Amino acid sequence: MQDIINEFQKEGTINLDIFKWVRNDKELMTILDEEYRMYDYHTRLIDSKSNRGWCRTMYHSLFQQLIRGDIYYYTCYMVLRRAVYLISYPYYTKFAKPGDKTRFRHVDINLGQAALRQGNEEMIQGSVSWDDEDPTNCTPILTRFHHHLAEYQQWRVAKGMDKKGAIEAWQDNVDWPQELRSRWPEVRWVNTICKPGMVRISDPRLPHGSNGPATKIRRTMLPWFVRVNDDMETMEFEPMGTYDQLAKAHRNLTAGPKSPSGHPNMYGGISIPFAGATPPVFTSKISQAIHCQILWNSPGVLLELLNLFGPNGTKDGYWDFVTARRKEVAKSVKERWIVCKKFEMAAFGDNSFWRKKGPQSSQRDTKTSLVEELMKELNTSDFAG
């Protein structure tokens, strides 16, 4: 873990192959493909405008919950930001397809506040990738930029460019001219290229973005692990909302009140859960706490933390625990995916993705009501009991 910390602190970003165990499970990878296609099918174009590669209906898919609850993934964030009480801020996914206008460059946080350490500069961020990325289809990052942030901000102010420290859209010719490139030659744009199941974890002070337009399918999920304060009410960055609001979003499987950066939800988020969305079963108290199913400071969670990370915790014990929980959650995702598909068909009737696109489409009776459908399924299904 020390290697990871060193690399992260030096470069400001790191790629880790955390979900190799998912990549090696063909059944899980099939569910991933199916889930993405189903949510994408239910994503409307608003005012006929492109979603720029975002799947804005997909907030609580089984796969997103699987990655949020992964204990090793959580451990990396916990160590890198030296914070224990982290919850996942519900967020939509990326599903870019060839031709999507995915290119952008920006900084999520206010650099002026970050330079003074008065903002949300500790809120490290990242994504899980599910496709083979390449230089055209990946996340470019201005690595090592964070080491010079204070001087950079002084430069901006001296140039009269910046009164408040917020940069909406980063442009190299304005925000990173040759003058600065020559001053700090070790700071450079790097394409962070992942393969399926790899995660990128980045310092939020680094300018970053996406290359584009997309030339192939690229899917990513953003876990947004954010810190709840010791009072279990307020969050590390007040504009993002309160713990209760986020717990409600997890319970109801809806969007959070804002974005993790405190901005309004683009396109309104989702105010009702997706039909069929369901959490996998987590037996780990840590995984439950990440999803606001249980308070971080409750005894069960603290005991689990102590067992894993306390003085009597061992590396073997840690990995035995992580592996066992992964097996459980994989089994649960597979079981609940069957349920999700059935509910999607029941709820959407003739407009169901699975009736129209799924392998079962020709076998379905499209005339029964939702309740009749569910009763029939519950009486005969392989998920009853």
Shortest separation between residue 261's beta carbon and Fe ion, angstroms:
8
Shortest separation between residue 371's beta carbon and Fe ion, angstroms:
43
| 12 or 279: CB nearest Fe ion | 12
3-state secondary structure string, 86-135? EEECCCCEEEECCCCCCCEEECCCCHHHHHCCCCCCCCCEEEEECCCCEC
| 209 or 280: CB nearest Fe ion | 209
Binding segment (CB under 5 A) for Fe ion, from list 26-34, 100-108, 258-266, 368-376: 100-108
| Preceding amide of 279 cis, omega within 30 | no
| 57 or 127: CB nearest Fe ion | 127
Nearest CA-CA partner of 133 in 190, 188, 196: 196
Shortest separation between residue 170's beta carbon and Fe ion, angstroms:
10
Binding segment (CB under 5 A) for Fe ion, from list 13-21, 91-99, 105-113, 263-271: 105-113
Q: Which residues contact 334 (CB under 8 A, 6 or more apart)?
A: 27, 28, 31
Residue 149 is given by DSSP the state H
Binding segment (CB under 5 A) for Fe ion, from list 11-19, 106-114, 144-152, 245-253: 106-114
Length of the chain: 385
Q: Does 108 bind Fe ion (CB under 5 A)?
A: yes
| 220 or 288: CB nearest Fe ion | 220
Shortest separation between residue 222's beta carbon and Fe ion, angstroms:
9
Shortest separation between residue 167's beta carbon and Fe ion, angstroms:
11
Q: Does 121 bind Fe ion (CB under 5 A)?
A: no
Shortest separation between residue 174's beta carbon and Fe ion, angstroms:
18
Number of residues that bind Fe ion (CB under 5 A): 1
Give me the 54-93 binding string for Fe ion, x by CB under 5 A, dash otherwise: ----------------------------------------
Binding segment (CB under 5 A) for Fe ion, from list 108-116, 178-186, 249-257, 268-276: 108-116
Shortest separation between residue 108's beta carbon and Fe ion, angstroms:
4
Cα 181 to Cα 310: distance, rounded to the nearest angstrom: 45
| 108 or 122: CB nearest Fe ion | 108
Residue nearest to Fe ion (CB): 108
Shortest separation between residue 178's beta carbon and Fe ion, angstroms:
25
Structural contact between residues 107 and 120, judged by C-beta atoms closer than 8 angstroms:
no
Cα 142 to Cα 151: distance, rounded to the nearest angstrom: 16
Report CA 348 to chain centroid distance, whole Å.
27
Binding segment (CB under 5 A) for Fe ion, from list 102-110, 145-153, 156-164, 356-364: 102-110
Q: Does 304 bind Fe ion (CB under 5 A)?
A: no
Beta strand 104-106 with 188-192 is unpaired
Cα 135 to Cα 153: distance, rounded to the nearest angstrom: 29
292: alpha, beta or left? (left if phi > 0; alpha if psi -120 to 50): left
Residue 125 has phi, psi (to 5 degrees) of -135, 175
Cα 36 to Cα 221: distance, rounded to the nearest angstrom: 11
Q: Which residues contact 341 (CB under 8 A, 6 or more apart)?
A: 34, 38, 276, 354, 358, 360
| 108 or 373: CB nearest Fe ion | 108
Shortest separation between residue 208's beta carbon and Fe ion, angstroms:
6
Interacting residues toward Fe ion by CB under 5 A: 108
